[in-house]
């Protein structure tokens, strides 16, 4: 198992599930905030390629990725928008620090109503 993959398994508890409308509706509550990873299954292992979050509706946000070429997703709920942001930052920096392939092309955005929040990893 790759080091980054192990970190993903430890931090995102639900999944992997096929990235379909049916599986998203079956497993992800609507109108909840949280984090998600998108990727594929290789040799029985989930390989993440993208990390994201939703500050309002994780179910809807994951569905926005259905036609982007990812086969599976993992997710976890967050207690607050700041917790969701911190978790997304952790995933983003894990990809970058370990030079893992990553489809995130920029640092996660701060929550809309929390402009004072700083990334716990790079202080942006």
CB 8 within 8 A of CB 91: yes
With 90 as the cut, is the pLDDT of residue 38 above it? yes
Structural domain includes residue 44: yes
CB 107 within 8 A of CB 119: yes
Q: What is the pTM of this model?
A: 0.90
Q: Can you give the CATH number for the domain in which 29 is found? A: 3.40.1440
Structural domain includes residue 63: yes
Candidate from 9-13, 56-60, 65-69, 86-90 with smallest mean pLDDT: 9-13
Confidence of residue 28 (pLDDT cuts 50, 70, 90): very high
Q: Residue 12 has what pLDDT?
A: 82
Structural domain includes residue 107: no
Neighbours of 61 (CB within 10 A): 20
Q: Residue 9 has what pLDDT?
A: 44
Structural domain includes residue 113: no
Q: In whole angstroms, what is the distance from residue 9 CA to residue 46 CA?
A: 8
CB 42 within 8 A of CB 83: no
Q: Residue 6 has what pLDDT?
A: 54
Structural domain includes residue 118: no
Q: Residue 8 has what pLDDT?
A: 47
Structural domain includes residue 108: no
Candidate from 51-60, 71-80, 97-106, 108-117 with smallest mean pLDDT: 97-106
DSSP state of 108: P
How many domains does the chain contain in total? 1
Residue whose token pair is 């790079």: 122
The tens digit of pLDDT for each residue in 9-18 reads: 457 889 999 9
Structural domain includes residue 38: yes
Structural domain includes residue 55: yes
Domain coverage including residue 80: 3-97
């Amino acid at each position: 198992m790759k080091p980054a993959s192990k970190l993903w398994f430890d931090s995102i508890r639900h999944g992997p599930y096929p990235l379909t409308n049916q599986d998203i509706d079956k497993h992800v509550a609507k109108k909840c905030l949280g984090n998600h990873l998108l990727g594929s299954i290789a040799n029985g292992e989930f390989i993440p390629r993208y990390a994201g979050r939703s500050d309002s509706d994780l179910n809807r946000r994951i569905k926005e990725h259905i036609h982007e070429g990812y086969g599976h997703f993992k997710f976890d709920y967050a207690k607050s928008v700041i917790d969701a942001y911190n978790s997304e930052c952790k995933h983003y920096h894990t990809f970058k620090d370990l030079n893992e392939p990553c489809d995130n092309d920029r640092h996660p955005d701060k929550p809309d109503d929390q402009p004072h929040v700083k990334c716990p990893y790079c202080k942006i």
